[in-house]
Each structure stands twice: as structure tokens, then as C-alpha cells.
Amino acid sequence: MPELNVLIVDDSSVMRKIVDRSLRQAGLKLKEVFEASNGMEALARLQQTRVDLILSDINMPAMDGLELVRQIQGVDNAKGVPIVMITTDAGEARVIQAITNGAKGYIRKPFTPDQIKERVIPLLQV
């Protein structure tokens, strides 16, 4: 698998670091990891940078993960990039909304590197 550029979106800097570490522990080779603390920052980053994978929290200030996923569909630079939601709020309605908006999967917090591997790697091989 080639080295990946990844965007991690979460309002918690601790959680962004844990997601970064878990991706590496899951065996993914990361070229560059970009971070954003909300949907607005993530959109601004995606206008400038092409990434291979986006992992996003749902509950965030300024712009939440569900709105981010919806708006990403209109960003040329992000067309076809798999988006995985990582959230404590994995209720059925929110998961359905995330998938409807364009997310390819979700991971419930707390998670293990194995769960990341299980959910993320198949999306990168499509």
C-alpha cells in the first residue's frame, strides 16, 4: 500500500494524536498527517491539499462532522476520498445521516487499532 496523506478532524487535540498513532499501529504508512479542529478548518485544508483518507469526529463546534461530510461532496479536490466518522455518538440515526451525506463508514470511540484497520483498509483498496 502506498504512503498516504490523511486528514484527521477532531476538536480534541488529544484525540487527533490518538487517531494518528492508531493509524500507524494499524499498519498504515502515513506520508503526511493534516489536522483540523472543526469542519470549517477541514474544508479550508481540503481546498489546498489532496488527501487519500479523511477521519472525522461528528460533534464539533463551528461545523460538525455531518455538515462537513455533506459539504465535502462539493469540493473537487476531495472527490472520491473515503471519509470515516470516528465518534462516541454512534446512534443509528446519526450513522445513517453520515452515510447519506457521503461517509463510507464509522468507528465508535473508544476504539482499538485493529478496529481502525478493519474499517479503513478495505476503503483504501477499492
Partner 1 sequence: MNSQTQAPRPGRVQLILSAKSSGPSEAAIKLASLPRDETQQRFTLALDSAVTEVFEMMVGISLGSCGQVTLPRVADYTAMIGLAGELCGVLSFRCSLETAAGITAKMLETIERPSQETIRDALGEICNMVAGSFKVRVSDLAAQCWLSVPTVVSGSDYQLYPLTDGMRMQVSRTFGGTLLWLTLDLHGN
Q: Residues with Cβ < 8 Å from 41, sequence gap 6 or more? A: 9, 62
Q: Find the shortest distance in angstroms from Cβ 31 to partner 1.
A: 22
Q: Is 12 in the site for partner 1 (CB under 8 A)?
A: yes
Q: Where does this chain touch partner 1 (CB under 8 A) — which range of 38-46, 65-73, 75-83, 104-112? A: 104-112
CA geometry: angle 78, 86, 108, nearest 5 deg: 150
Q: Which residue, 51 or 86, is less far from partner 1 as judged by CB?
A: 86
Name residues contacting partner 1, limited to 82-101 (CB under 8 A).
87-93
Instruction: List, in sequence order, the alpha helices (H) in the chain.
Output: 13-25, 39-48, 65-72, 92-101, 113-124
What is the C-alpha to C-alpha distance for residues 120 and 126, in angstroms, rounded to an integer?
Answer: 11
Q: Is 108 in the site for partner 1 (CB under 8 A)?
A: yes
Residue from 17, 24, 70, 117 in contact with partner 1 (CB under 8 A): 17
43 within 8 A of 72, measured Cβ to Cβ:
yes
Name residues contacting partner 1, limited to 32-61 (CB under 8 A).
59, 61
| Interface residue list for partner 1 (CB under 8 A) | 12-15, 17-18, 21, 59, 61, 87-93, 108-112
